[in-house]
Chain A
């Protein structure tokens, strides 16, 4: 069965510091992986996704993630945090078979300190 684990429900970084949000998954089929961001009082929006091909995926707002099959990980990084990056971040993996529903992690709240 598919599952997603996001390590650390809260992460705090200083402005300008590296952002690293961790996501590990389990999947019985080749996974498709997603990162979504949720700003306060808003819906989720796609940051980036991995389907096939290049394992380093670049997304919006300077974020990127690397699919590492051997580690079953899809960690999200950004070299330099900005105050506007403060938000909730969700990792997700597609379910098996023709059912396209996503299996979601519980989210990581990112705080950026001045």
Chain B
């Protein structure tokens, strides 16, 4: 049963510290999405990759957030420095990007980040 995995599942850190979240997409999927979910804003798209290349990161605060795909099996989302307002659940999702119908996105379990 193929699944998207995310680590860590929970992270508590202090303001100003660096946070790195990792995602392993489903094998064979070539699109990866990073989302942030909060009560106030709902689900926000932060970044979107296809074939490891960033297609859209317009939702990401560029001064402190960065997203990369070092290889096809790993996506990372980094926050440096972290702030209180970054407290949220961060989801990674993967899918198959083809020229046909839109992909179904398969979500990981999320990383719950608390910035003290």
Digit string of B91-110 for contact with A (CB within 8 Å is 1, else 0)? 10100010001111111111
Write the nearest CB–CB distance from B67 to chain A, whole angstroms: 14
The CA-CA distance from A90 to B107 in the complex, in Å, is 13
CB contacts (< 8 Å) of B106 on chain A: these are 45-46
Within 8 A of B (CB), among A73-103: 90, 94, 99-102
The reply to whether B104 and A101 contact each other, CB–CB distance below 8 Å, is: no
Interface size of A by CB at 8 A reads: 22
Q: With A and B bound together, what is the CA distance between A41 and B33 in angstroms? A: 19
Instruction: Looking at the assembled complex, report how far the CB atom of A112 sits from the nearest CB atom of chain B, in whole angstroms.
Output: 21
Tell whether, in the assembled complex, residue B91 and residue A104 are in contact, meaning their CB atoms are under 8 Å apart: no
Query: Which A residues between 51 and 65 are near B, CB-CB below 8 angstroms?
Result: 51-52
Q: Which residues of B contact A (CB under 8 A)?
A: 4, 31, 33, 42-43, 45, 48, 55-56, 91, 93, 97, 101-110
Q: How far is the CA of A36 from the CA of B104 in the complex (A)?
A: 10
Q: Bound complex: CA of A49 vs CA of B106, how far in Å?
A: 13
Contacts of A100 in B (CB 8 A): 31, 48, 97, 102-103
Question: Please, which residues of chain B bring their CB within 8 A of the CB of A102?
Answer: 45, 102, 105
Could you list 12 A-B pairs, sorted by A, with CB under 8 Å? A34-B102, A41-B109, A44-B93, A49-B104, A51-B102, A99-B55, A99-B56, A100-B97, A100-B103, A101-B33, A104-B42, A107-B43
For A43, the chain B residues whose CB sits under 8 A away are 4, 91, 93, 107-110
CB nearest neighbor in B for A9: B42
Are B101 and A51 in contact, CB atoms less than 8 angstroms apart?
yes
Tell me the complex Cα distance, A51–B107, Å.
20
Contact B104 A46 (CB under 8 A): yes
CB proximity of A98 to chain B, nearest CB, Å:
9
